[in-house]
């Protein structure tokens, strides 16, 4: 009898816990907007998936500014202290407040700098 084959190659997402894929995809989109590059062009050779790339950028890079980085981190880790179910009104409210309103505030700040106000 032969022993079963057990792969020693980790699955690309096996070590990455994603609590909410919708919000993780939003984090990817925000990174792509911030860096003005597709996530695949941001990937390093040792990263096996988009999620690994996002995790690395979220945890180590502050090139996009702390406020923007905080928004991306909250989305990727679903870090709202309200669970991960987007059908929950509490989580929806938190995403609106912590993501949408924060992004709106950042845009207004950038616009005022651009206009010299």
- Per residue in 18-68, pLDDT (tens digit) is 899 999 999 999 999 999 999 989 888 888 888 888 888 888 877 888 999
Give yes or no for a contact between 55 and 76, defined as CB atoms under 8 angstroms apart: yes
Chain segment 86-96, per-residue pLDDT in tens = 999 999 999 99
80 falls within a domain: yes
> In this structure, is residue 98 part of a structural domain?
yes
How many other C-beta atoms can be found within 10 angstroms of the C-beta atom of residue 61? 14
74: nearest Cα among 7, 27, 15: 27
Question: What does the pLDDT look like over 77-113, one tens digit per residue?
Answer: 999 999 999 999 999 999 999 999 999 999 998 888 8
Question: Is residue 8 a part of any domain in this protein?
Answer: no
* 1 has pLDDT over 60: no
- Angle (CA) 94-100-104 rounded to 5° is 140
Does 7 map to a domain? no
* Best CA proximity match to 27, nearest among 97, 85, 104, 95: 95
- Specify if 13 maps to a domain: no
Model pTM score = 0.79
d(CA 59, CA 61) in angstroms, rounded, equals: 6
Domain range for 95:
21-115
pLDDT value of residue 10: 39
- Please state the domain count of the chain: 1
Residue 5, in any domain of the structure = no
Residue partners of 72: CB distance under 8 A and separation at least 6:
27, 30, 31, 34, 57, 58, 64
In a domain, 89, yes or no: yes
Helix (H, G, I), strand (E, B) or coil at 20: coil
Question: Does some domain include residue 110?
Answer: yes
Q: Using CA atoms, how far apart are residues 59 and 62, in angstroms rounded to an integer?
A: 9
């Amino acid at each position: 009898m032969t022993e079963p084959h057990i792969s020693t190659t980790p699955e690309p997402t096996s070590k990455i816990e994603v609590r909410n894929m919708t919000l993780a995809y939003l984090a990817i989109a925000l990174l792509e907007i911030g860096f003005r590059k597709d996530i695949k062009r941001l990937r390093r050779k040792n990263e096996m998936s988009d999620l690994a790339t996002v995790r690395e950028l979220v945890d180590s890079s502050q090139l996009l500014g702390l406020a923007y980085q905080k928004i991306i981190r909250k989305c990727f880790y679903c870090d709202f202290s309200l669970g991960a179910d987007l059908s929950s009104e509490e989580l929806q409210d938190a995403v609106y407040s912590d993501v949408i309103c924060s992004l709106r505030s950042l845009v207004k700040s950038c616009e005022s700098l651009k206009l010299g106000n």
